[in-house]
């Protein structure tokens, strides 16, 4: 009797191991639904909700990125504010068109663009923290 119980338990263990192996293989080979992007009819990219979310990252050339940044109202208003300040320095004789200017911690480059717009020929902007291009 004990021998029959032992055989039954061995068969039951083998069946359980087989089912568990197939279940594990099924789960490993199947892509989770959370990693599949939903079919979207709009051209807008959505913000990823998990690391599985993969969406197309459009590459924009540097010129296009700069034009987008430079065309915003806030950027233009800050540049015009800096331009007015630098023009006052020009009128005092502290800044000339042939001056060499180094802007440290230039951020998004408002100062660099303002100096370039008022006619300073040699302007360099340096930023230690990653930011949009100058």
The CA angle 75-110-108, to the nearest 5 degrees, is 85
Report the number of distinct structural domains present in the chain.
Answer: 2
Has residue 68 been placed in a domain?
no
C-alpha R_g of the chain: 32
Q: Which domain does 100 fall in, by range? A: 74-126
In a domain, 58, yes or no: no
DSSP state letter for 129: S
Q: Among residues of the chain, what percentage have pLDDT more than 90? A: 32
Token pair in block for residue 90: 């020009």
Residue 131 has pLDDT above 70, yes or no: no
Residue 17, domain member (yes or no): yes
Asked if the model's pLDDT at residue 21 lies above 90, the reply is yes
Closest CA to 90 of 71, 65, 55, 117: 117
- Whether the per-residue pLDDT at 11 is higher than 80: the answer is yes
Q: How confident is the model at residue 47 (pLDDT cuts 50, 70, 90)?
A: low
- Output the pTM of the full model: 0.50
Interval 83-105 mean pLDDT: 89
């Amino acid at each position: 009797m004990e021998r029959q119980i032992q055989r039954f338990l061995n068969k039951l263990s083998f069946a359980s191991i087989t089912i568990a192996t197939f279940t594990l293989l099924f789960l490993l080979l199947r892509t989770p639904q959370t990693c599949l992007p939903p079919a979207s009819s709009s051209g807008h990219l959505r913000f990823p909700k998990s690391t599985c979310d993969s969406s197309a990252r459009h590459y924009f050339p540097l010129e296009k990125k700069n034009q987008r940044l430079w065309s915003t109202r806030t950027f233009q208003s800050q540049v015009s504010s800096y331009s007015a300040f630098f023009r006052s320095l020009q009128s005092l004789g502290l800044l000339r068109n042939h001056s060499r200017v180094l802007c440290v911690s230039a951020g998004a480059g408002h100062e660099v663009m303002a100096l370039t717009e008022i006619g300073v020929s040699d302007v360099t902007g340096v930023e230690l923290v990653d930011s949009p291009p100058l």
